[in-house]
Amino acid sequence: MQFCVFRFLGNMLNTVSLCVLALAFAHSSAASNAKRGLAFADSADPTDISVAENTQVSWVYDWGTTAPSYLADSGITYIPMQWGASGVEDFAATVQASGAKTILGFNEPDMSSQSNIEPATAASLWTQYIQPLGADGVQLGAPAVTNGPTGTPWLSQFLGNCTECTFDFIPLHWYGEGLGNFYNYIWSFHGEFASWPLWVTEFASTSTNVSEVQDFCNQSIIYLDSLDWIGGYSWFAFYRETSGSYYNLLDANGNLNTLGEIYLDGTD
């Protein structure tokens, strides 16, 4: 809630001007949430990022290694990702040139339709090309697996092969219905990989009931904010409404919809 302090300045114009300035300052100076991130899937409409500025969001990624200008200029911290095996030999140099302080590893390597890397191969690539960034003080986020049946087994095999690797946190992805199912999954994941903080870098309710999706988002971000072993999270995803989509944060015109307002400015 925002308040205006009115002072008698001799005329109504000055009073209204003071109120407008106070409201503008309150919005622009609102502190962002260090955990809350943005999965930017809206490259066809890059200027939409403007609606995420001066909100609760503090970091953004777009599954790429280098921030495009519209994200670099947004004022929101960009986190590069090494999505798959291709180009991994250039990743460290790219990160160092950008000055990034945090990175994300391979995207859903347990899925054939995603980065699709065998655990032993991923461990070898990590050791040679990504691990050295840790010595430069870059925070290393491990590969992010799915919540499907191949996810945690892949991660366990990867960690078993990557014996000289260090990680500052482990990202994970979750899609499904029901807060209880989501909470049970992240707690189970935490129990299995308790040595590391977790970042939930993709998550969403797949319900086709708009009210259920909105309630899921509202309740889940409150809960994630309360857990000290959750270091970050990003709802999937920041993009415009499309046919059959229920978890998009933008409407068809690139404005925040109700879900977007909950996520970008919620839990006050």
pLDDT tens, residue by residue, 36-86: 999 999 999 999 999 999 999 999 999 999 999 999 999 999 999 999 999
Indicate the DSSP class of residue 144. B
pLDDT of residue 34: 97
Q: In this predicted model, which residue has the larger pLDDT, 235 or 28?
A: 235
- The overall average pLDDT reported for the chain is 90
Share of the chain above pLDDT 90, in %: 86
User: How do residues 104-126 score in pLDDT, each as one tens digit?
Assistant: 999 999 999 999 999 999 999 99
Residue 34, both tokens: 């260090």
Element (H, E) at 174: strand 170-176
Give the span between the Cα atoms of 167 and 155, in whole angstroms.
13
Q: Residue 52: how many CB atoms within 10 A of its CB?
A: 24
* 2-25: burial string, b at 16+ Cβ within 10 Å, e else: eeeeeeeeeeeeeeeeeeeeeeee
Residue 243, both tokens: 């046919």
Max Cα-Cα span within the chain? 75
CA 204 to chain centre: 12
Give the span between the Cα atoms of 165 and 169, in whole angstroms.
12
User: How do residues 161-201 score in pLDDT, each as one tens digit?
Assistant: 999 999 999 999 999 999 999 999 999 999 999 999 999 99
Of 2, 41, 26, residue with least CA distance to 237 = 41
User: How do residues 138-168 score in pLDDT, each as one tens digit?
Assistant: 999 999 999 999 999 999 999 999 999 999 9
Report whether the peptide linkage leading into residue 237 is cis, meaning its omega lies within 30 degrees of zero: yes
pLDDT of residue 1: 33
Q: Cα–Cα distances in Å, from 107 out to 60, 63, 146, 202, 256?
A: 15, 8, 9, 10, 27
Residue 161, both tokens: 């092969």
